[in-house]
Chains A and B, each alone.
Chain A
């Protein structure tokens, strides 16, 4: 069957502003990945179409895009997940600078991720064996550790859109990942970083991030746990 992709294009070497271009592609059935259709355009019709991708099955986080108005991964969105009877609108992730076509500048996103000290801090002498952690405590981390840093959440967040200093849901999720790790000793330091107007308190529980997350992570719940921990600390 024939499917129309309506793709936002922008080449800073040539274009003064973004525009849309339509391509008609051939899909075997409704289980084709949007990523494969983008490849079809690139490999058959127009080699200049530019996007990032790598693993093609939702684990590397390279191909976060806005597809029919919703942030998702091109490789884990199938035709049947969208209305393909009409042109499928494909745009770069919103609210961050475009480098070219569907490729965006993620440097601010990564900077905010680094700001929460995204690594285990434990200065106690390490035992000879593993540090003991109950399976329940380990599982408290698993959902947050699923994050693939694709940026779908942060760029879907109205609080991020309106406040460029807001650290955003992805970075807060990473803060949770370490604050709630029973092996970590820097929870206070990290809570100081996120207990600011541009930190956890900028989250107004709009849940866009939860809807956008391709790994089904409940970001808002994790942020609420950080808020709770900060409140407990103050008591």
Chain B
């Protein structure tokens, strides 16, 4: 075992982690741990853009952005935090541009913007109550916005000589009383266990898409950060809110950005009908993701989808009517995916798509300065921070708008970094418990020596298929109750997992087996959150409770792990400017 000491440890080298690292001042030691080389992080897969009311293409204001985000969240987002994000967005984008991020440009050379789902302005700008129409708010770089953003942030970290531990797989937090005192990690190259003693730890560990069979998320999206928090007696918030992106490439789940619809693409059912006109008459195909995903599943259930050779169904996304230069210049990557993976030529034929598990609205509850909180009163966990998809501030509430995730990571990554920079000036190192690595060592020892009959790959597939079937776009009490039993069984069976690779060098068999444990840990609060929330709000749709119920459920769910079934608690929602209204588009 090897011990290290740093003022700051950041786990995860996606947008949130890298942006936070840039805030740690000279004179303090900081290291970023990542299980993949930084530019392989999943931020790089974001396509369509980053939202900010720059008003470069048409009139816009941060208040409209805030309103759209609140409404998009189905009023579960905390309005104080959303206000911070919508206001800070403008500064944050300019900052990225100054850091060197390459953007598509307007004819005047400003950052170009395009339309995106749920982002609107009043048709008559002077009359805030006039009908809302789609607005160009998404700042973009063709359809590789996340990729160039990730690279720009990494480049700036190199410039600032941030220290990285690449291919270090974090396995646990080190808690010292009520404070966080560091992390435990395994160097993948050697399987050696390292303990990093730190004054402050930031979890920027991303999402959990791989809990589901069809997902847009990378293989590394295994919910690691959620598992660390949950297993250390800290709560997770709003885990029932899972975003299914409406347009995943059929069978594969690969993301086909909303930018395709922002540029004029439309959804069609098997009758060739533009069905979104029925579900969202004003913004149609640019309705928020939860509504479009429900519309697609409804079309399929009512017999208006296409049956795929794999037994699953899909509808069509058509961009073939768009000018060729729009396809080649604005959405080249995603149309390339259709060609590469399905052999479909998007300039001539429609693209088969189906909803794909995409984003965790819920996560580790934090303040607007990324400080992790431990209970409904908002008590902080000294030394522990979280930002990005891993965190639940909550700016996305029950449903995130497209372009707000890239925004979230740079706004709250930076705020977290600044809060840490303040904290470490005064804070002492919390004492490092002697048994810091024991749980990790025991876990590795068990997996390396187990003769059990279960295999991680097969067990993971089973979990993913069941989650897809019973905890997907539409949910009901029976399926969810079944899943609470199922997840217990899966957890028991996980104890019987054995691995083939007994070696020390780059043992991905071992890493994947530990990741499976993290997936199971993450699935449990998703299932229990979905079962207790007896209403339909945003991405959480209960067939047995089809209406939103503000009286009972305008509140955040907190879930704690216990030896028996998880314990549930609630936190109030911050409502400042916009009172909840019926959500129609």
Contact = CB atoms under 8 A, between A and B. Distances in A.
B458 A43 contact: yes
Nearest to B457: A43
Given A55-B218, A61-B40, A118 B155 contact: yes
Given A119-B159, A120-B155, A133 B109 contact: yes
Contacts of B109: 132-135
B104 A138 contact: yes
A132 B110 contact: yes
Nearest to B503: A13
Interface stretch (B176-184, B262-270, B504-512): B504-512
Contacts of B40: 54-55, 60-62
Interface string B481-507: 000000000000000000111011111
Nearest to B508: A50
Interface string A137-152: 1100110011011000
Contact of A54 (B36, B106, B156): B36
A48 B503 contact: yes
A72 to B, nearest CB: 12
Nearest to B93: A130
Contacts of A198: none
A106 B37 contact: yes
B384 interface: no
Interface size class of A (residues with CB under 8 A): 35 or more
Interface string B243-287: 000000000101000000000000000000000000000000000
Contacts of A178: 100
A42 B456 CA distance: 10
A11 B499 CA distance: 16
Contacts of A78: 340-341
29 contacts: A11-B505, A31-B343, A33-B341, A44-B457, A46-B500, A47-B500, A50-B506, A54-B40, A54-B220, A55-B44, A57-B45, A59-B144, A60-B40, A60-B41, A78-B340, A99-B506, A100-B503, A100-B506, A114-B158, A118-B155, A119-B158, A120-B152, A132-B108, A134-B109, A135-B107, A145-B141, A145-B148, A149-B37, A184-B100
B102 interface: yes
Contacts of B458: 43
Interface string B438-460: 00000000000000000111100
Contact of A135 (B112, B144, B341, B457): B112
B575 interface: no
A190 interface: no
B142 A142 contact: yes
Interface in B520-555: none
A181 B499 contact: no
A130 B458 CA distance: 50
Nearest to B40: A60
Contacts of A149: 37, 39
A158 B59 CA distance: 54
Nearest to A33: B341
A14 B503 contact: yes
4 tightest CB-CB pairs across the interface, nearest first? A120-B100, A43-B457, A47-B500, A119-B155
Contacts of A61: 39-40
Interface in A58-86: 58-62, 76, 78, 80
Interface string B408-420: 0000000000000
A56 B219 contact: yes
B340 A76 contact: yes
Interface in A102-131: 103, 106, 110, 114, 118-120, 122, 126, 128-131
A31 B40 CA distance: 24
A45 B509 CA distance: 12
B94 interface: yes
Nearest to B500: A47
Given A131-B98, A184-B100, A59 B110 contact: no
A53 interface: yes
Contact of B341 (A31, A51, A52, A138): A31
A100 B504 CA distance: 11
Contacts of B58: none
A146 B151 CA distance: 10
- Choose among A28, A61, A128, A178 the residue with the greatest number of B CB atoms under 10 Å from its CB: A61
Given A59-B44, A142-B142, A135 B342 contact: no
B39 A148 contact: yes
Given A12-B505, A129-B94, A135-B106, A48 B158 contact: no
Contacts of A202: none
Contacts of B343: 31, 80
A183 interface: yes
B42 interface: yes
Contact of B337 (A13, A57, A138): A57
B105 interface: yes
B36 to A, nearest CB: 6
Interface string B41-52: 110110000000
A35 to B, nearest CB: 9
Interface in A181-214: 181, 183-184
B341 A59 contact: no
B303 to A, nearest CB: 25
Contacts of A76: 340
Contact of A31 (B103, B104, B148, B342): B342
Contacts of A46: 500
Interface in B411-438: none
B111 A130 contact: yes
Contacts of A134: 105, 109
A54 B100 contact: no
A62 to B, nearest CB: 5
Contacts of A137: 105
A55 B310 CA distance: 22
A60 B457 CA distance: 22
A100 B106 CA distance: 48
Contact of A146 (B103, B144, B341, B342): B144
A55 B45 contact: yes
Interface in A141-189: 141-142, 145-146, 148-149, 178, 181, 183-184
B457 A56 contact: no
Nearest to B166: A110
A207 B468 CA distance: 45
B95 to A, nearest CB: 9
Given A54-B42, A61-B40, A133-B109, A120 B506 contact: no
A184 B155 CA distance: 14
Contact of A130 (B107, B110, B156): B110
A60 B35 CA distance: 13
A5 B323 CA distance: 42
A130 B503 CA distance: 52
B147 interface: yes
A29 B159 CA distance: 46
A13 B100 CA distance: 44
